[in-house]
Structure formats: C-alpha cells, structure tokens
Amino acid sequence: MPPSISDAGTVGEITLNSDLFSGDVGGLGTLFRATACGEVGDRLGTIERQPLSRTELNQLLHLCHEAGLSEGFFRYYWLRAPLHTYDVRKLPGFQESWMQTSAIVSKQHLLWGIYRACLDGLFYFGDMRTGYRELRAKSDDELVEFYRGKSIETEALQRRGSILPLVQIAKDDRYLISEMACKSYGDPSQGTSDLKDLLFGALKAHQDNSGGRVTIRKLLEQACAGKTAASRQQEFLFSADDILDEEVENREQLQGRYERVATKFQKSREAALQNTRYYLSMVNDLDVYVATSMRDRDDFRKMADFCDQVFSSSRLGELKLRYFDPTMSAADGHEDKGLIECLMVKCAKVLVYCAGKKESFGKDAEAAMALSLGKPVIFYCDEEQRGRFYREVHPLSRLIEFATGVAVGAIVTSSVKDVIELLHRVFHNGMEYELDQKKEGYYLLREKLTQSVVRLQTSDKMLRETFWNYYHNRV
C-alpha cells in the first residue's frame, strides 16, 4: 500500500487525503503510489515532529525514481500564496501560518502544495506529470512570470477610462436589427422591400376575393400559403411582429402601418451598424462576448434584460467590463457578420453562451471556437435539466485547446447570479476548483460553484501516451 497520511491535520472540516493521489499521477504524486519505498512512508509520517526541507523532499522523490524540484518551485508551491489564476488560499487545508515557514511543517501542508501543483499541471498542461516536469526546474521569478501571463490584470481593468457610448435602441425594437428583418425590409433607400410587396399583393388578393377588415397576420399567412413565399413565412411574421394583430381594409391604412414599423427598422438598423463600428474600435479591449441565437421578438427582449442584469450588477461594476451585446449590433451582410463575430470571440477574454429555445450552428460554433482557444466559457441555461444535458451529454461541453492539446470543458449554470459571480471570479483571478479522482488514475477538475468539469486526465494509459506523443507531432 502507498504511504498513508490521511490522518493529516484539519482546518475546520477541510482535509486533504493522500488517497487522492493514489492514481497514476506521476511527478509529486509518485510519493503516494504503492511502489513507493518504505523509508518514504516513514519520513512522511514524521513531518509534524521534523519539518521537511526541499533537500529531503528531493531525496524522497529520487527514491521514487522521480526528478527533483528547484528551490523556486519549492518556495512557490509550499511557502507562498501568490497572486495566481485562482485563489490558492481557498484550496483544501490551507493555513496562513505556512507562509511564515521555511520548510513543510505538516502533512496537510505537504498535500496542499502537491494539490496546487497537480491542479496547475492538469489545468495548463493537460497532464499532471507533464505539468510537473515542465515547471519543476523553474525559478521563483520564472513561475511568477509564467502565471502572470495567464492571469487577468484586474487593476488595469479598473483603471480603464470610459468608452464611446453605444447608440441606444429601445428593447422592444431590437428584434428589427436581425438578419431576418433586414431581408424582409430590404434597402429603403432603393425603395425595395419584399415584406411590403408581399403585404400589398396580399391585400389586393383579399380585396378581390371577399374584402373587408383583415389582420396583417392573416394577410401574411394567406400570402405565404403559396409555394413562392412559404419558405419565408417565419421571417415575414417575425419582421412584422409589431403590427401583426392590427387590422386594415385599404392601401392607405396598410401603408401607414407598414411605414411606422419600417421607420423603426431603419432607425434601429442604423444604430446597430454604428454600434458595430464602436465594438470594432474597442475589440482589442473586449472582455466578454455574449453568444446566443434569437428567433423571435421575446428572445431579443430576454437577451437585452440578461445583459443589463449581468453587466449592470454591483458585483461587476468596478471592473468596467467591455462586453458585446448581440441585441445592439448588426452587419451589412451575414458574411461580414461572421467575420466580425469570429474576431470578437478571438479577442474576448470570456465567452458567455446563452441557450435559447433551439440551438443554432452559429452560437455552437462560437462556443466551440472559444473552448478551442482555451478561453473560459460559461453556458447559461434557464432550466436545470438543460444544464445537466450540457454538463453530461452535449459534445461542446468537452473539447481540446488546439494550441496545447489540453482537454477543456464549459462551466454550466442555470442561475444568472452564478454567471455574475463566475465573471467576478474570472476577472479577479479568484476562481475556485476541486480535484476529483473519478476512479483510480482518472482525474476530473471541477469548477467549485457549479461542479462543472473544466479539465480531465484519462486513466487509459494507451490513449494518454498516444495522445501526448502525437498531438504535438512528437515521434
């Protein structure tokens, strides 16, 4: 059996147990494998009486056939609680008194440092052993610089000045910036509008048939009954939502109704196009990209309310976050829209994915791209059942960061409050994680608030070795 230090000291109810590292961790976890020699277990059992120095720790690692570690690594992981990419003080078992020592003074102290190093190895290298071997020889300064490059400069965000204000669009009119509305209303300056032509044609047909008062909804449904416009019925109904239930009986009334909403369309679209220019002008400073698909007017209202609720919260106020609101932006065409959104996903620090009534290729692709870039992705689902689906089933909840090969997962929640808290933690370098051994050698790294799996290490040795040998084209 591996040396057991499960009787380690406690902090309140929080303890760490060496059984967590009993799998094929490699690196520091080698100390707790069943193959570790007896003298390793003997020495680990006396830490409370005789603090463990770096020299002795290296001796124990060497006896386990593992490479030793630098003085900087020892200091960084056991004697300091530095600004990191997550809050190291909230890892299990932490005691502030350890930061005034020059050696490892308890079993919990030893496990806390190993926990940190294994978490970092899994998070940034996709494999605990690889992480240890990449970091073990670095100096204290090199480790500080390494993690500084992966941290958010919170104070820099807070010091940022104001930005050019977006052109405001009434929430009830934001549905008019959609691609469907643009196709329906066409270019007013050219005097072309498919929606207008369809409505007036339908009114003439109605007058030639029975005449009398009729709702605009009825006109559209009758016009789309034929083969020519049937495929665009949803588009036309969506675009005319503001006047669907109003009645008309002649061209003058229809003209008045149409012009009223067409004017709103033109005003909203011009504002959205200008806002896109503003978004592009600050894309290098973009913090959060909000991805969603909006299929009806109510979707636009809910999305606008969501953005207001999240980014106007007092919890995020001091950060002055720059975020992309999809209800406030439009492009000249879907090709340009694709380029714009890809650029924003690439530049944003975090992506928030808002699940709608139905999924769409567009927002799924944006979430996949963000995950593949290694960015934090927060999936917001308005039902717990959907959250469970994304967390356990949806293929986009597990992907690979292309540059490193690290397996990455989305953070899934059904709570707006959680979205706000997660953004606060990300931008304050205060994320909290838990390391879990699903079965021997199979490790999951969970985001603590939502229990979402954000990293994993398989216990399939052939898969693991083949993956890392060939992902980076090593032969």
pLDDT at 14: 53
Predicted confidence (pLDDT) at residue 385 exceeds the cutoff of 50 = yes
pLDDT at 469: 85
Q: Examine residue 227 and state whether it is found in any structural domain, yes or no.
A: yes
pLDDT at 118: 94
Asked whether the beta carbons of 383 and 391 are under 8 A apart, the reply is no
Q: Examine residue 243 and state whether it is found in any structural domain, yes or no.
A: yes
Q: Give me 10's structure tokens.
A: 């406690």
Percent pLDDT > 70 in the chain is 91
Q: How confident is the model at residue 393 (pLDDT cuts 50, 70, 90)?
A: low
- The pTM assigned to this predicted structure is 0.90
pLDDT at 11: 35
Question: For the chain, what is the domain count?
Answer: 1
Q: At what angle do helices 216-223 and 194-209 cross, to 10 degrees?
A: 90
Predicted confidence (pLDDT) at residue 356 exceeds the cutoff of 90 = no
DSSP class per residue in 71-134: HHHHHHHHS-----SB-GGGSTT--GGGGG-SSB-SHHHHHHHHHHHHHHHHHHHSSHHHHHHH
Question: Which position has the higher pLDDT, 343 or 466?
Answer: 343
Q: What is the pLDDT of residues 252-294, one digit of tens each?
A: 999 999 999 999 999 999 999 999 999 999 999 999 999 998 8
Q: Examine residue 231 and state whether it is found in any structural domain, yes or no.
A: yes
Mean pLDDT of 196-201: 93
Of the candidates 52, 147, 167, the one whose C-alpha atom is nearest the C-alpha of residue 109 is 52
- For residues 233-264, one letter each, b for 16 or more C-beta atoms within 10 angstroms of the residue's C-beta and e for the rest, the string is eebbbbbbbbbbebebeeeeebbebbeebbeb
Instruction: Say which residue the tokens 């909000």 belong to.
Output: 290
Q: How far apart are alpha carbons 184 and 175 in whole angstroms?
A: 12
Question: Which position has the higher pLDDT, 229 or 312?
Answer: 312
Asked whether the beta carbons of 195 and 236 are under 8 A apart, the reply is yes
pLDDT at 325: 96
Q: How many CA atoms lie within 13 A of 427 on its CB side?
A: 28
Q: How confident is the model at residue 206 (pLDDT cuts 50, 70, 90)?
A: very high
Predicted confidence (pLDDT) at residue 221 exceeds the cutoff of 70 = yes
Strand (E) or helix (H) holding 289? strand 288-291
User: Who contacts 164 (Cβ-Cβ below 8 Å, separation ≥6)?
Assistant: 278, 281, 282
Q: Examine residue 398 and state whether it is found in any structural domain, yes or no.
A: no
Q: Examine residue 199 and state whether it is found in any structural domain, yes or no.
A: yes
Q: What is the pLDDT of residues 85-139, one digit of tens each?
A: 999 999 999 999 999 999 999 999 999 999 999 999 999 999 999 999 999 999 9
Q: Examine residue 244 and state whether it is found in any structural domain, yes or no.
A: yes
Q: How confident is the model at residue 5 (pLDDT cuts 50, 70, 90)?
A: very low
Q: How confident is the model at residue 3 (pLDDT cuts 50, 70, 90)?
A: very low
pLDDT at 386: 62
User: In a 3-state reduction of DSSP, which class is residue 4?
Assistant: coil
pLDDT at 1: 38
Domain of residue 181, residue span: 173-268
Q: Examine residue 371 and state whether it is found in any structural domain, yes or no.
A: no
Q: Examine residue 111 and state whether it is found in any structural domain, yes or no.
A: no
Q: How far apart are alpha carbons 64 and 47 in whole angstroms?
A: 18
